[in-house]
Chains A and B, each alone.
Chain A
């Protein structure tokens, strides 16, 4: 009886909301309340000079490379980033513009890639969650069958019950992590936009 009551609660938790119900039919595995925007388009974050001629060139410049890693990292506060960018862009105008373009091209590539990998991860975990929910459901049925048997195997019931408890706990933990990680793509968007704006102001 004890198990039955607990299982009912677990089932309700595992069956509810988050798994398998996507807001956008195009992205059935997308678990977040935030709309999925697969890629940030350059025009949404950059109104500066065109970057076509610097694509991939930023990788050849060691200084820019190092700066991109530093500025892309979320542990670098934005006001520190602003100072770093201002220092990097000091100097004559034409050169300033070229350097700004290189730097932003690098940040755009890097942060967009980070964003994609986080988003792929979220969808992968959602698929796993769906599998876990199926397995919890199946094991619950097995447990019920044992309990309803003419001669219930108490040891088996205990074992199945414990197993279910653990699976559900993992399921719930993952759900909490998903909710938290859903904020990451947005945080990356914000960072990319803020850095882009600083660079544009610097080369204007």
Chain B
């Protein structure tokens, strides 16, 4: 940290703000709040009251707003980052849980857990553009790097649905393991990873062939298999290293994303759920739902360096783009 500040002061005095200071927003599912974390001091600088049962949370691509799905209020709230206040809502379907934006940040795709649909929303106009019928209890959402394919996983049908974003039709279904939770593409579109909470695995899918090509399994000595529940996935931009949150195993698995081998398990907090990298990929922040905190992982050292208390049942996390 000192080196960075020194660098900022001496070499680039014009850039007053230190290069490494980011802001993270964490949704607290039980306390109905969003905690704002400063990544320079690693402290909570503000707690924003939001609607009921906030889960999916994401910065808009311009970094000006934070969208948060408040499932029990059946809507998505928009937090203005400058004033840290809720300024508007987006018309999702009932019980929105997770959502994803297209590359341009104009269109939002929302998984509505209760009515088996994905709602498509024009963010600027705050208007609903359409709906896609998917499997039972849609949850995980991802968009292919070229923006042409939207992935939605359904918890009960155990499938990853491939949706053509132009025609809004399902074009393929790939069977994965029990209760798929989250989907993540490699940036080069070579692989799609889908986590299965009950199955305890990651299914690796070839996005072109639309077929499962491999599985990642996890084993921690002394822990029952049921305690290992993969949920959130984070991948470095170079596609070399992946991090998988293992829920009540209280650990993050570090995976060599090329060989698909687990290289390390890091003890973080209780019921680790979702995660976000700082834009420089120096740190990975993960939410721990039962210990009510956020763990900070030093990505290069693969070490937990900090724990920050937030609200009750922290669920999602998003970090401001640069």
Contacts and interface: CB of A to CB of B under 8 A. Distances in A.
Interface of A: 41-47, 186, 189-190, 193-194, 197, 200
A189 to B, nearest CB: 7
A47 B227 contact: no
B267 A186 contact: no
Q: Is the interface of A mostly helix, strand, loop or mixed?
A: helix
A45 B291 CA distance: 11
B269 A193 contact: yes
B267 A47 contact: yes
B291 A47 contact: no
Contacts of A200: 267
Nearest to A194: B291
Interface string B213-233: 000000011111001000000
B291 A190 contact: yes
Contacts of B265: 47
B222 A197 contact: no
A189 B220 CA distance: 19
B227 A193 contact: no
Interface stretch (B100-108, B110-118, B158-166, B243-251): B243-251
B307 interface: yes
Interface of B: 220-224, 227, 248-251, 265-267, 269-270, 290-292, 307
A190 B250 contact: no
B224 A41 contact: yes
Given A47-B251, A197-B269, 19 more contacts: A41-B223, A41-B227, A42-B222, A43-B221, A43-B222, A43-B223, A44-B248, A44-B249, A44-B250, A47-B265, A47-B266, A189-B270, A190-B291, A190-B292, A193-B269, A193-B270, A193-B290, A197-B267, A200-B267
Contacts of A193: 250, 269-270, 290-291
Residue among B221, B227, B250, B265 facing the most chain A CB atoms (10 A cut-off): B250
A193 B267 CA distance: 10
B266 to A, nearest CB: 8
Considering residues B222, B267, B269, which has the most beta carbons from chain A within 10 angstroms of its beta carbon? Answer: B267
Nearest to B305: A201
Contacts of B269: 193, 197
Residue of A44, A194, A200 with highest tally of chain B CB at under 10 A = A44
A189 B290 contact: yes
Contacts of B267: 46-47, 197, 200
B54 to A, nearest CB: 20
Contact of B290 (A41, A43, A190): A190
Contacts of B266: 47
Contacts of B221: 43
A198 B249 CA distance: 18
A193 B272 CA distance: 13
B251 A197 contact: no
B291 A44 contact: no
B223 A44 contact: yes
B128 to A, nearest CB: 34
Nearest to B222: A43
A197 B288 CA distance: 13
A200 B220 CA distance: 18
A43 B270 contact: no
A25 to B, nearest CB: 15
Top-6 shortest CB links A-B: A43-B222, A47-B267, A43-B223, A193-B270, A44-B250, A193-B291
B81 to A, nearest CB: 31
A197 B290 CA distance: 14
Contacts of A190: 270, 290-292
A193 B223 CA distance: 15
Contacts of A194: 291
A194 B221 CA distance: 21
A46 B227 CA distance: 14
